[in-house]
Amino acid sequence: MGEWVAGLGLSSTAMAILAAIIFGAAVVRGLTGFGFAILAVPLMGLVIAPTQAVLLAIVLQMLIGPFGVGKALGHIDRTLVGGVALGAMIGTPLGLWALAHTPHDVARLMIAGIAVGCFGTFLIKRAPTPSTAPVHIAATGLSSGLLNGFAAMPGPPVILYFVRSGVSPMAARGSMILVFFAAAIAGTVTAALRGLLSSNLLWLAALAFPLMLAGNHIGGRFFGVVPERVWRGLVIALLCVAAIGALTKL
């Protein structure tokens, strides 16, 4: 254990903080159905390098991706979802390239800003009805992939597209599960081909994954029980902490 902790430059205290962040973000994911990376990445970026935080979140989201895929396939428009997923897989390497060429302090601040902006999109009650035109499908997928590669946050364009499209909640949820899984696969494969996934990072992901599963399960049990204003207030407060921390480091 000491070897991969040393490889990531983490003290025992930093490791404990990282574990708490992953578990807490997973609880939010289970509670709300989204938001793991939006909360985890900017906070993890205060403990480890932003690139490592993004890669860790991408790998964790790939690992949890298969959960629910079987049920999702029976509720989606496969042609539509396939187009968005393809765009996300194409856009993800571009986002990773941009992240690799951005200084750490600047990337940390940008990721915090993206997280705040992403969370803001979930507060929007109405949005234009999405078009099924190929250009709009491609734009949704590419923008999702770019955000995935740069910040491990593929959600906002996809959520705005499917959730606000008038489809059933089951279809919207299934569509998002599959698109996010495809984006996570693309991110993980791209990172592996570029030699960005060190053995230490993979060990960390493997050890953190049970925390993600446990947090997601606990959050799911409280779905609909915790008032929306409570969890939204908590997430906003934590994102503000991440943004202030990023400014301080910059």
Residue-by-residue pLDDT tens, the chain, 250 positions = 455 455 556 778 888 899 999 998 888 877 766 678 888 888 898 888 889 999 999 999 999 888 767 776 777 777 888 899 999 999 999 999 999 999 988 888 888 888 777 766 666 555 555 566 788 889 999 999 999 999 988 877 887 777 666 666 677 777 877 888 899 999 999 999 999 998 889 989 998 999 999 998 898 787 667 776 776 677 677 767 767 766 676 5
pLDDT, residue 112, reads: 81
Question: Which structure tokens are listed for 208?
Answer: 């953190």
The domain limits of the chain are: 2-249
C-alpha to C-alpha distance for 91 and 88, rounded to whole angstroms:
5
pLDDT, residue 106, reads: 87
pLDDT, residue 46, reads: 85
* Radius of gyration of the chain measured on its C-alpha atoms: 17
Max Cα-Cα span within the chain: 52
Nearest to 180 by CA among 45, 38, 13, 2: 38
Distances (CA, A) of 94 to 88, 103, 124, 150, 190: 10, 16, 28, 8, 10
Q: Answer whether 141's CB lies under 8 Å from 86's CB.
A: yes
Reported as half-sphere exposure (CB side, CA atoms, 13 A), residue 200 has a value of 15
pLDDT, residue 200, reads: 85
Distances (CA, A) of 218 to 3, 32, 50, 141, 242: 31, 12, 27, 31, 24
Extract the runs of DSSP E, i.e. beta strands, from the chain: none
pLDDT, residue 188, reads: 95
pLDDT, residue 69, reads: 74
Question: Which structure tokens are listed for 38?
Answer: 């939006």
Question: Which structure tokens are listed for 234?
Answer: 């908590």
3-state secondary structure (DSSP) of residue 131: coil
pLDDT, residue 184, reads: 93
Nearest to 109 by CA among 37, 42, 38, 40: 42
pLDDT, residue 42, reads: 87
Nearest to 186 by CA among 158, 213, 152: 152
